[in-house]
Structure 1
Amino acid sequence: MPSSRELVSRALNFQPVERIPKDLGGMRSTSISAFAYPGLVRALGLPPRPPRVEDTWQMLALPDLDVLDALGVDVVSILDGVTNALPPEAQADLWHDYDFGGRLQAQVRHPEAFAALPDGTLVQNGKLRMPPGAFVFDEEHAGQALDLSAELPKLDLKRFRQEVEAGLLRDDEVRAIRALCARVRDATDRAVFFNDASLQAMLGIGAFQGVAIFPMLCLTEPDYVHELHEIVTRRAEVNIARLMPEIAPYIDVAMLAADDWGTQQGLFASPRVFRELFLPYYRRINEAMRRHAPGVKRFLHSCGAIYDLIDLIVEAGFEVLNPVQWTAGGHSFREWKAKTHGRIALWGGGVDAQRTLPLGTVEDVAREVREVAACFARGSGYVFCNIHNILAEIPPEKVLALYRAVDEVTPVMEETTFPDRGEKTWLH
């Protein structure tokens, strides 16, 4: 049998696989709520432990190795210096106890970032808030207050350029990242998913002034957007050139961008905006990755109804697309598969995360997983997980159903022709 690493590699290269590879926690949109995690640990019959909350905004647990083993997960992560590929004691000095106001015995990297208000609300870094009964942190207007009577806010690009240039990777940072990646590669035969802020493109339809403002700036101030994108693209090119030759032998997938272009029904901006203001810069970043790390798969996360952007995303040079939110925008999972097969691998989309998973029965979850995964896995090109993070309200029996049902699906390779593409490929 191939190793998990080999299995993921075959899937992402549209090669035959014996089973569908699985992810949990490879990146910050394929994980599980720290509030749901202890129940999953108990349901798996594993010893209790405080969850390591790697993402304290979304409140996500970093899944432990024994949990990955029990669920048959094929991916480990490196997330800004922490990893679940090593035993917790290997990075114990990075983690500190914190109980989130008595609600959750956990570990975080920076407990000093939190403060409690008299009503039990927790404040993080002076602005993010988690009221009692909430399961994630947020801020007023999500930090995107909009005043249409005022001039649209913009960055001081001269100052921003100086800040970006001052934050380019240093040699000592490259050495530290390389050392961690090498340790991870030696420790596991799972695929290694690399997530690091230094590598990720600071491009996005809401990456700066937010989705309430930035799409309007794309229409009213295109020269400003071009200059901004030139600054962040140059940053990415420099960091890729410095880092990727050092770590490419140790990693398999790299998170290049998180650019949520979709709402529940459509796009935040038109495909024309993507083509004119984003595509040229994404091409440059993907080309830099291809040049310096040709064996590392280039990963894009973009939520929502982005079906109409798929052709442009492929043209930009991305090789893996997540979270495969086929439930948004009126296109079925079968249409998503037909649109992407042989062109870009899909990572996620395993179940309707807004209806079936929270509202359906355990059997409803298993039934939909079997149907969706069988479609996405035909002809390969698929890694399984939920459409997005498993939320706090999801009971452990549904999580178990999610990961056990996909093991019942046997991937099929069949030759067929897409009428709308006029080409043969492997798919039913």
Structure 2
Amino acid sequence: MTGKETMTSRERVVKALSFEEPDRVPIDLGGFQTGIHKRAYEDLLAYFGWQEELEILDPVQQLVKPSEAVLTRFHVDTRYIVAHAPQGFQGRIEQHERDGKLWRDLKDEFGVVWSMPEDQQLYMDISRHPLADATLDDIRDYPFPNGSDPTRFTGVREQAIEMRNNTPYALSTGIFGVVYEVCWYMRGLERWFIDMMENPTFCEALLDQTLKYWLDYTAGFMQAVGDLVDVVMIGDDLTGQKGPLFSPKFYRQVVKPRQKKLVQHLKSLTNAKVWYHTCGACTAYIPDLLDNGIDILNPIQISAKDMEPERLKREFGKQLVFWGGGIDTQHVLPFARPEEIRQHVKRNLEIFKPGGGYVFNNVHNIQYGVPAQNTVALFDAAYEYGFYKE
């Protein structure tokens, strides 16, 4: 038996983000870091017996934009407002043959090429790092994209106004502000890690370029929607399963000041809460993120080291909103039975939901191979056990 809803989705999310208890825990699905893979979505449609034309939200991760029918079925309280590529940028997936095999290739605005084999189509990996052999002078001469190009935001405000005035949902931007990760996309991960030790001046120069892009982008995007959205999403993966991916000293001396500048810039442009994504065991960085001005942490990878829900809620639950952490997506969601899924969700909700400050979703994306019945059990349990009062 579920409780009774007494709030709109927007009211529910806003209350939860203010560390107050709404009627039930808000539910999220459909973002770039909280989405569903196209094949998992196809399995879900087959389970429901529904026919839909798929809309790809993110070709790199092969994420689908869930339909209103699916979002409504799962009681999802969030909807997304995203900018688009600037006028003149092609951004098309092209098919090429290499070594006797067909590939789908996509070049992004920074010149990074993402590829996946035609016979797989699960996700894209980087196949070309445009700054792999670059020098400091090459960074100065590189044609970085123009974050302030106003054509990125054509029609975005009108869409946001329509959703704000005519739907009950909380509005969030898609993710942007990827200051750190874009650098290794362009340089190559191994080369970038060497640079951090041997050539930090190169790293700082490249970080300054990506920061400039995102500061310019943010100014234009927030001018369009900053007064209309409830959540602004940014992120960079800083940690892996067991802890930081690179030197915490380098993070705090070089990366963090630039992230903080972006967050404070955002806060000067909007009253929306700032949401930050990093996978992995990030507990040691939470004080840094709070110092930067972050309001919300995602995806809360509860299977990583020192990411136990009890600890996170106890140590940071009054300062930081947790957005995610609904289930162990590595060991439980793909392999457990639906009833086990339900009990896992129930336990995590009992830990995270007291006092508000919690939004439910799967930890990161629902991947291909997750049984449709498990996805259904996940969101049905989130709804059933998410009410604060019977």
TM-score class normalised by the smaller sequence: 0.7 to 0.9
The answer to whether structure 1 residue 274 and structure 2 residue 279 are counterparts is no
The answer to which of 275-284 and 109-118 deviates more is: 109-118
What is residue 53 of structure 1 aligned with on the other side? 56
Match of 1:358 among 334, 350, 359: 334
For the Cα contact (< 8 Å) 1:33–1:61, is it kept in 2?
yes
The answer to which of 210-219 and 184-193 deviates more is: 210-219
What is residue 3 of structure 1 aligned with on the other side? 8
What is residue 79 of structure 2 aligned with on the other side? 76
What is residue 37 of structure 1 aligned with on the other side? 41
The answer to which of 210-219 and 265-274 deviates more is: 210-219
Q: Secondary structure at the match of 1:15?
A: coil
Structure 1 stretches of at least 4 aligned residues deviating more than 6 Å after TM superposition: 116-120
Gaps spanning 5+ residues in structure 1: where? 83-108, 145-151, 414-428
After the TM superposition, which residues 237-386 of structure 1 pair with which residues of structure 2 at under 5 Å, given as runs?
Answer: 237-257=215-235, 259-293=236-270, 295-386=271-362
Inter-CA distance 60–241: structure 2 relative to 1 (3 Å threshold): closer
Match of 1:215 among 188, 193, 215: 193
Q: Deviations over 1:152-197 (max 9, x none)?
A: 956455554565665132344444332332233234221112126x
TM-score in terms of structure 2 length: 0.85
What is residue 229 of structure 1 aligned with on the other side? 207
How far is 1:210 from its partner? 4.0
Greater RCO (CA < 8 Å, at least 6 residues apart): 2
Q: Deviations over 1:10-35 (max 9, x none)?
A: 1112111110111111x212111111
How far is 1:75 from its partner? 0.8
What is residue 103 of structure 1 aligned with on the other side? none
Amino acid paired to 2:334: P
Q: Deviations over 1:114-134 (max 9, x none)?
A: 457898754223761235356
For the Cα contact (< 8 Å) 1:299–1:319, is it kept in 2?
yes
RMSD: 2.9
How far apart in 2 are the matches of 1:239 and 1:127? 22
How far apart in 1 are the matches of 2:291 and 2:26? 26
Amino acid paired to 1:378: P
Q: Secondary structure at the match of 1:277?
A: helix
For the Cα contact (< 8 Å) 1:54–1:61, is it kept in 2?
yes
What is residue 179 of structure 1 aligned with on the other side? 158
How far is 1:37 from its partner? 1.0
Match of 2:180 among 174, 195, 203: 203
How far is 1:38 from its partner? 2.3
Amino acid paired to 2:338: V
How far is 1:367 from its partner? 0.8
Inter-CA distance 342–161: structure 2 relative to 1 (3 Å threshold): farther
TM-score in terms of structure 1 length: 0.78
Gaps spanning 5+ residues in structure 2: where? 1-5, 107-112
How far apart in 2 are the matches of 1:161 and 1:412? 55
How far apart in 2 are the matches of 1:184 and 1:160? 40
How far is 1:335 from its partner? 1.3
What is residue 400 of structure 1 aligned with on the other side? 376
Once the two structures are aligned, what percentage of the paired residues are identical? 24
How far is 1:366 from its partner? 0.9
How far is 1:112 from its partner? 5.2
For the Cα contact (< 8 Å) 2:59–2:124, is it kept in 1?
yes
For the Cα contact (< 8 Å) 2:139–2:205, is it kept in 1?
no
How far apart in 1 are the matches of 2:222 and 2:167? 20
